[in-house]
């Protein structure tokens, strides 16, 4: 009986755990995102204010508009796309936050394949 009670208490505590999700903290600022491209770890730096995001990658800057769906989800769309692929909007969703980092998933709007990443707020 004692074991059964301990298991019930443990399951109750585990089911109540909610990961931190303080998304408002990440609407503005300067961030870094690192990704493995082939065999090399590449870093993208981006600055975001509520409605505009400027990405810096390999010495080039790209500007995108941002439309927030709610505090943790937004749509990113390049302002001056250079080709058809860049015309597609991307849905971003912040899954968890931890200090100055957030984990997110993203996909091209209309597609189901999602990828994940982690960004760090540097300013």
Six token digits for residue 94: 């912040």
- Answer for the pair 22, 112: CB distance below 8 angstroms, yes or no: no
- Answer for the pair 104, 94: CB distance below 8 angstroms, yes or no: yes
Average pLDDT of the residues in 12-26? 71
Residue 107: closest CA among 83, 73, 60, 56:
73
In this structure, what are the phi and psi dihedrals at residue 35, rounded to the nearest 5 degrees?
Answer: -140, 145
Q: Check whether 114 has a pLDDT greater than 80.
A: yes
Q: What is the pLDDT of residue 16?
A: 56
- Answer for the pair 104, 114: CB distance below 8 angstroms, yes or no: no
Global pTM value: 0.78
Q: Check whether 110 has a pLDDT greater than 60.
A: yes
- Answer for the pair 88, 109: CB distance below 8 angstroms, yes or no: yes
Six token digits for residue 91: 């849905």
Residues in the chain: 123
Dump pLDDT digits (tens) for 21-72.
889 999 999 999 988 788 888 899 999 998 999 999 888 999 999 999 999 9
Burial of 48 (0-12, 13-18, 19+ CB in 10 A): buried
Largest CA distance in the chain: 67
What the chain holds in terms of domains, given with CATH numbers, is: 19-121 (2.40.128.20)
Count CB-CB contacts under 10 A for residue 31. 20
């Amino acid at each position: 009986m004692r074991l059964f009670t301990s298991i019930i208490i443990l399951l109750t505590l585990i089911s109540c755990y909610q990961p931190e999700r303080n998304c408002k903290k990440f609407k503005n600022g300067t961030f870094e995102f690192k990704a493995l491209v082939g065999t090399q770890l590449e870093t993208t730096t981006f600055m975001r204010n509520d409605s505009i995001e400027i990405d810096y990658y390999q010495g080039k800057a790209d500007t995108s508009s941002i439309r927030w769906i709610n505090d943790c989800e937004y749509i990113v769309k390049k302002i001056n796309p250079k080709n058809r692929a860049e015309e597609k909007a991307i849905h971003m969703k912040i899954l968890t936050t931890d200090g100055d980092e957030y984990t997110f998933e993203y996909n091209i709007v209309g597609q189901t394949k999602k990828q994940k990443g982690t960004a760090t707020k540097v300013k």
